[in-house]
Amino acid sequence: MQLKAQAEKFARNPFAWLLRLRLALFGHEELFGIVFWPTLVGIAGALASVLFRVGIRLCIRLFSGYWPHSEHGSGLVAVAMRLPWWHRAIMPLAGGLLAGATLLFLRRRFVSAQAADYIEAVNVGNGRIGFRASILKSLGSMLTISSGGSIGREGSMVQLAAMLGSRIGLLARAPVPRLRLMVACGVAAGIAAAYNAPISGALFASEIVLGSIAMESFVPLVVSSVISNATLHRLMHVTPVFFIPHVAVASDWELVFYILLGVLLGHLAPPFLALLDFSKSKFVKLKLPLYFQLALGGVGVGIISVFLPQVWGNGYSVVSGMLLGQVFGWTLLWILLAKVLATASTVGSGGVGGVLTPSLFIGSAVGTLVGGVLQWMMPHVISQPVAFGVIGMGGFLAATTQAPLTSILMIFEMTLDYHVVLPLMLTCVTAYFTAKVYRHGNSVYTATLAQAIVAEQGDDWRVRTVEALMKPAAVVVPRETPLAEVFDRLSRRSVRRVYVTDGDQLVSWFRPRDVHERLRKGEIRWDAPVGSIAEPVNEALSPEMSLTEALDTFLREKARTLPVTPGQWRYTLLGEVSRDDVLLAIRDRLTVIK
Query: Would the pLDDT of 18 be above 60?
Result: no
- 242 within some domain: no
CATH code of the domain in which 439 resides: 1.10.3080.10
- Nearest one of 482, 40, 573 to 561, comparing CA atoms: 573
User: What Cα–Cα distance (Å) separates residue 280 from each residue in 224, 285, 586?
Assistant: 34, 9, 36
- Nearest one of 157, 180, 119 to 241, comparing CA atoms: 157
Question: How confident is the model over 327-348, as a mean pLDDT?
Answer: 89
Domain with 71, as residue range(s), is 28-235
**Whole-angstrom Cα distance, residue 354 to residue 474?**
41
- Asked whether residue 79 falls in the same domain as residue 206, the answer is yes
Q: What is the pLDDT of residue 349?
A: 87
Query: Would the pLDDT of 68 be above 60?
Result: yes
- Asked whether residue 197 falls in the same domain as residue 264, the answer is no
Q: Domain boundary residue among 235, 269, 297? A: 235
- 243 within some domain: no
- Asked whether residue 419 falls in the same domain as residue 500, the answer is no
Question: How confident is the model over 349-374, as a mean pLDDT?
Answer: 88
Provide the CB-side half-sphere exposure for 193 (13 A, CA).
37
Q: Per residue in 272-328, pLDDT tens? A: 988 988 998 888 888 888 888 888 988 999 999 899 888 888 888 888 888 887 878
**Whole-angstrom Cα distance, residue 446 to residue 165?**
22
Query: Would the pLDDT of 214 be above 90?
Result: no
b or e along 448-464 (b: 16 or more beta carbons within 10 Å of the residue's beta carbon)? ebeebbeeeeeeebbbe
- Asked whether residue 495 falls in the same domain as residue 550, the answer is yes
Q: 15: pLDDT confidence band, cut at 50, 70 and 90?
A: very low
Q: Per residue in 451-509, pLDDT tens? A: 544 444 444 445 567 777 787 777 888 888 888 887 777 655 567 788 888 877 887 88
Q: Is 541 helix (H, G, I), strand (E, B) or coil?
A: strand
- Asked whether residue 320 falls in the same domain as residue 436, the answer is yes
- Asked whether residue 43 falls in the same domain as residue 168, the answer is yes
Q: Could you tell me which residues come within 8 angstroms of residue 498 by beta carbon, excluding any fewer than 6 positions away?
A: 474, 475, 476, 477, 486, 490, 509, 510, 511, 512, 530, 534
Contact 52, 142 (CB under 8 A): yes
Query: Would the pLDDT of 33 be above 70?
Result: no
Q: Per residue in 154-185, pLDDT tens? A: 888 888 998 899 888 888 777 777 888 888 89
**Whole-angstrom Cα distance, residue 484 to residue 69?**
63
Edge-to-edge strand ranges of the sheet holding 535-536: 475-478, 498-502, 505-510, 535-536
Query: Would the pLDDT of 72 be above 80?
Result: no
Contact 578, 560 (CB under 8 A): yes
Q: What is the pLDDT of residue 426?
A: 92
Contact 229, 192 (CB under 8 A): yes
Q: What is the pLDDT of residue 25?
A: 46
- 441 within some domain: yes
Q: What is the pLDDT of residue 46?
A: 92
Q: What is the pLDDT of residue 324?
A: 81
Question: How confident is the model over 22-35, as a mean pLDDT?
Answer: 56
- Nearest one of 473, 470, 465 to 550, comparing CA atoms: 465
- 296 within some domain: yes
Express the helix, strand and coil content of the chain in percent, nearest 5 each: 65, 5, 25
Tell me how far apart the terminal alpha carbons of the chain are, to the nearest angstrom.
67
Domain count, the chain: 3
- 443 within some domain: yes
Amino acid letter, 533: I
Q: What is the pLDDT of residue 253?
A: 77
Q: What is the pLDDT of residue 338?
A: 92
- 207 within some domain: yes
Q: Per residue in 97-145, pLDDT tens? A: 898 888 777 666 655 545 556 676 666 667 788 788 888 888 888 888 8
User: What Cα–Cα distance (Å) separates residue 361 from each residue in 397, 524, 535?
Assistant: 10, 68, 63
Provide the CB-side half-sphere exposure for 233 (13 A, CA).
13
For the ranges 20-34, 158-172, 398-412, 479-493, which has the lowest average pLDDT? 20-34
Q: Per residue in 535-559, pLDDT tens? A: 888 788 888 787 778 888 888 877 8
- Asked whether residue 483 falls in the same domain as residue 446, the answer is no
Q: Where are the alpha helices (DSSP H) in 196-289?
A: 198-204, 215-235, 254-285
- Asked whether residue 452 falls in the same domain as residue 472, the answer is no
Q: What is the pLDDT of residue 11?
A: 46
- Asked whether residue 348 falls in the same domain as residue 284, the answer is yes
Burial class of residue 476 (count of CB atoms within 10 Å of its CB; 0-12, 13-18, 19+): middle
User: Strand ranges (DSSP E) for 503-558?
Assistant: 505-510, 535-536
Percent of the chain topping pLDDT 90: 14
**Whole-angstrom Cα distance, residue 112 to residue 477?**
40
Q: 431: pLDDT confidence band, cut at 50, 70 and 90?
A: very high
Contact 197, 214 (CB under 8 A): no
115 DSSP β-pair partners: 129
Query: Would the pLDDT of 70 be above 70?
Result: no
Element housing 477 (H / E): strand 475-478
Kind of pairing between the strands at 505-510 and 535-536: antiparallel
Arithmetic mean of pLDDT over the chain: 79
Q: What is the pLDDT of residue 261?
A: 93
**Whole-angstrom Cα distance, residue 43 to residue 369?**
40
Q: What angle do CA 308, 313, 314 make, to 5 degrees?
A: 110
Q: What is the pLDDT of residue 565?
A: 83
Q: What is the pLDDT of residue 268?
A: 92
Q: What is the pLDDT of residue 503?
A: 76
Of residues 584 and 218, more confidently modeled: 218
